[in-house]
Chain A
Amino acid sequence: MATIHDEIDNWLAADTHGELSDDERSALHTHLVECAACRKSHQENKVMNKILEETLAHEKPDPAFEQRMLAGFRKRIPQRSGLVKLLVDLMRFRATQITAVAAVLLALVQIGRMITGEGAAVLRNRGNVGSEEFARRPAQAPFTDELSALRKSENGRDKEVAAGKLGSGLGAAVVQNAAIPAATSPVQPKDERRDAAEVERTIVTGPNIPSAEQVEPNPEAPASVLTNRKLIRNAAIELEIASFDDAVQKITAFANEERGYVATTSSEKQANGKLKGEILVKVLPENLDHFLQKIRGIGDLKNQTLGTEDVTKAYFDTDARLKNAHVMEQRLIDMLKTKTGKVSDLLQVEKELGRVREEIEKMQGELKYWDSQVQFATVTISLFEKDMEEPAAFLLKERAQLALYAPDVEKIYNDIKGLASPKVQVTNAQLDRDNSGRVSARLSMLIAPEESDAVISRVKRFGRVENLQKQTERIAQGGGGMSENAKTKRDKVELNVSISREEQEQALQETSLRIRTVAVDEKAKELRNLAEKQSGRMRSSSFSRDPDGREFANVSLRIPMKNYSALMESLNALGKVENVTVQRQDRNGAQIDEANAPADLSIQVYSQGNIVSQETGLFATLRRTLAQSAAAIMWSLRMIGVAIAFLAPWVIAIIFIVWIAKRILRARQQK
């Protein structure tokens, strides 16, 4: 530790400035008593201190210094007055700051909404508020007087009527339109703009008023016009009823009650015994509504249409034309009576008379028809009994599909054809032979229902059944849905058989394995012998040798499942069995003769050749590790590159912004 003597300068300075603690001071003084050199320094220091105090006292700022500073400050930074000061003071509070930030955010959101167009809706709402104001205004004091005065005036009568019909809003606008000349004087100048808007409004609403009057039917129109009208009324009604006959009886009774009659009746019986039909009833037009009311009670109403055809105009036109024709006829008759002239002329008149009479008859017939139509209203009633759609019977249609595998396709094809009899009909038989001599066959037959099970089981016995599908369909006849009474009948059974050669059958189990041995060729032959012993059949075999001296023999064979495990065991004798994969395809629910089902084996017998690179051991592992680590380094390099590419633009942008900000700040500081 440094002694006092070593640091005497510091100690002496602190002592002269009175910054030593009591302990320190006594320690220093003890040292000063002992050390003459330090004593001398102490003396000098004291003198120095004194001189400094005296000299620097001159340079000390004068007492008014702070005041000057303050005054300068106040002059350069003028006090803010009133509102600004209040605002600035307010902004010092955290709460105010938060509120301000929130307000700014809100404002931004609003601006954003206005830019994106949501603001348009807001503006439109504001417009509505404005128009509501227009509508409310007439009710206000200055306008009520005008309004009542206007009501009395004769000129305003039409408009008043229109206003009453169009509703308060529009009416008010109309009234206001008339009131404008009087209203403008009391209204203050700043309302002028509104008045202009009102004028535009009345221009828009103006054309509506007379049209409203037109729509309104003339209340004083005489009721007699209605009675003079020629109206053809007719109705159509559709009913679901329990019993057709009952309904016909009731309808006839109702028709009589209403002074009408049943014009036609038609009915039809469905396969399931249900009836449906149509009844045409004529009733007096004035009783039509009453009649319809009654009829509805008969059954369940499904559909009803009521129509009226106004033939008044056509009727009276025809009537007038008829009168003219009568006049014409009379004149022609007169002409025949009075005039005497050439025969050809008379004939001409005669011909013309015939034409006019024909026309008269036509028109009279037309009028009569209309009269009859107008006299009675026509009601078409469609009736149908409940459960119309109920089926009459059900038909069970069975379909069976069978896939057979056999060694001799042709024989079985002929056997099945031999089954044909009146109850077993072969509808289609086909035997195909392709380029490689493979044969397949297809047979379709229709079998009487009682024979079907026996025939199908016989067919199944001809070969190995691969696939049997049975399908039963119940077909409703004469309707749909369910029925309690309908009978069910079995239809002929349709059987489709496809026959293929055994080889084409898919194996139940597929096994692949490798056998490592030294003598490939020899072992492959041995393998063939083994397979034949287990009643297996070769499907294919191949042999190859590669440049490294490795030999491969691929053998593919099929054996029955029952011999499979025996063969597998005997394979162990050939060499080292490797890479065994077994794939079994269980066909659930299929009737399979497990013991005879085929199993496929594909076996590769191979030798190791001369060079065998064993990918195990220290060096191989080391090499792999190095390779992988190199790859990992490369990968991470790539990732770093990607990351830099991602970040670089941002970093550059941020640096640029910071640089600019610094430049600005510095410029302001220099000021």
Chain B
Amino acid sequence: MYRAATQGDREAFEMIIRTHSRALFAIAYGILQSREEVEDVVQEVLIKAWKTRWRVRDPEKFPAWLATIARHRAHDIFRRRRTVPLSVTINEAIEPSSAAESHGSELDQQLQSALAALPELHRSALTLRYFEEMDYRSIENILGLSNGALRGILGRALTTMRKQLRPALASLE
């Protein structure tokens, strides 16, 4: 399927869109944490992937390649968000998330900020796990990690968050 997609088979590519766009969403979300922006990013990534599919040499690495494009694109957006005048971006980009936060409890807010404090790789791993419930092997594949590395990453991510949220957690119990 990957081979067909890289050679220009449209149907194969659409199949890949169906199976992989959620994973891409999760990765980009790990960086941007804004659903609207992430959707745009995923859409752009898919189109760009179609246009530059001939650059893929090893069709087996097609998903990892997609993930890389997605990460780069998300980074670009992230950087632009910082450089564009604050007044515009904050209204545009932060508002939706802040609106979402207002609905949630204080815990939600704390969770979001704890998430935001995590390294981006950890965040991507978390989103892949909790959005798509992918198993470790698949996550490692798509993020281009070595076998068994994910266990450490998720372990650290969870522990960091736990430590930050400990007071809130205690109250919850």
Contacts from A to B (Cβ < 8 Å):
7, 9-14, 16-17, 19, 41, 43-45, 47-49, 51-53, 55-61, 65-66, 68-70, 72-73, 76-77, 79, 88-89, 91-92, 669
Partner of A59, one of B17, B29, B43: B29
Say whether B145 faces chain A, with CB atoms less than 8 Å apart.
no
Determine how close the nearest CB of chain B comes to the CB of A18; give it in whole angstroms.
9
- Report the nearest A residue to B7, measured CB to CB: A92
Residues in B neighbouring A17, C-beta threshold 8 A: 129, 136, 154
- Report the nearest A residue to B22, measured CB to CB: A61
Q: How far is the CA of A110 from the CA of B161 in the complex (A)?
A: 71
**Known contacts being A17-B129, A17-B136, A48-B165, is A66 close to B21, with CB within 8 Å?**
yes
Contact indicator B152/A10 (Cβ below 8 Å): yes
Residues in A neighbouring B51, C-beta threshold 8 A: 77
Residues in A neighbouring B173, C-beta threshold 8 A: 43, 47
Interface stretch of the complex, out of B60-68, B83-91, B103-111 = B103-111
**Known contacts being A61-B22, A69-B46, A70-B14, is A47 close to B155, with CB within 8 Å?**
no
Contact indicator A66/B39 (Cβ below 8 Å): no
Q: Can you list 22 contacts pairing A with B, beta carbon distance less than 8 Å?
A: A12-B155, A13-B151, A13-B158, A14-B155, A17-B136, A44-B166, A44-B169, A45-B158, A45-B162, A47-B169, A52-B111, A52-B161, A55-B104, A56-B127, A59-B35, A59-B127, A61-B39, A61-B131, A69-B42, A70-B17, A73-B14, A92-B9
Say whether B2 faces chain A, with CB atoms less than 8 Å apart.
no
**Known contacts being A9-B155, A9-B156, A13-B155, is A77 close to B108, with CB within 8 Å?**
no
Determine how close the nearest CB of chain A comes to the CB of B74; give it in whole angstroms.
15
Contact indicator A77/B50 (Cβ below 8 Å): yes
Compute the total of residue contacts between A and B using a CB distance below 8 Å: 117
Contact indicator B172/A7 (Cβ below 8 Å): no
Q: How far is the CA of A63 from the CA of B52 in the complex (A)?
A: 28
Determine how close the nearest CB of chain A comes to the CB of B116; give it in whole angstroms.
13
Determine how close the nearest CB of chain B comes to the CB of A200; give it in whole angstroms.
54
Contact indicator A66/B22 (Cβ below 8 Å): yes
Residues in A neighbouring B136, C-beta threshold 8 A: 14, 17, 19
Report the 5 A-B pairs with minimum CB-CB distance, sorted nearest first: A10-B155, A9-B155, A13-B155, A9-B159, A56-B130
Question: In the complex, which of the residues B131, B151, B152, B172 has the most CB atoms of chain A within 10 Å of its own CB atom?
Answer: B151
Contact indicator A88/B151 (Cβ below 8 Å): no
* Interface hits, B108-132 → A, CB 8 Å: 108, 111-112, 126-127, 129-131
Residues in B neighbouring A53, C-beta threshold 8 A: 130
Determine how close the nearest CB of chain B comes to the CB of A44; give it in whole angstroms.
5
Q: Bin the interface of chain B by size.
A: 35 or more
Question: In the complex, which of the residues B35, B107, B158 has the most CB atoms of chain A within 10 Å of its own CB atom?
Answer: B158
Q: Other than the known A56-B126, A669-B48, what 14 A-B pairs have Cβ atoms closer than 8 Å?
A: A9-B159, A10-B154, A14-B154, A45-B158, A48-B162, A48-B169, A51-B165, A51-B172, A60-B131, A66-B21, A72-B43, A73-B17, A73-B46, A92-B7
Q: How far is the CA of A221 from the CA of B28 in the complex (A)?
A: 111
Contact indicator A55/B47 (Cβ below 8 Å): no
Determine how close the nearest CB of chain B comes to the CB of A494; give it in whole angstroms.
94
Determine how close the nearest CB of chain B comes to the CB of A27; give it in whole angstroms.
15
Contact indicator A65/B165 (Cβ below 8 Å): no
Contact indicator A48/B130 (Cβ below 8 Å): no
Partner of A52, one of B42, B100, B126, B156: B126
- Report the nearest A residue to B168, measured CB to CB: A51
Question: In the complex, which of the residues B42, B130, B152 has the most CB atoms of chain A within 10 Å of its own CB atom?
Answer: B130
Determine how close the nearest CB of chain A comes to the CB of B6; give it in whole angstroms.
10
Q: How far is the CA of A10 from the CA of B9 in the complex (A)?
A: 42
Residues in A neighbouring B22, C-beta threshold 8 A: 61, 65-66
Determine how close the nearest CB of chain B comes to the CB of A580; give it in whole angstroms.
76
Question: In the complex, which of the residues A51, A58, A89, A92 has the most CB atoms of chain B within 10 Å of its own CB atom?
Answer: A51
Q: How far is the CA of A92 from the CA of B48 in the complex (A)?
A: 20
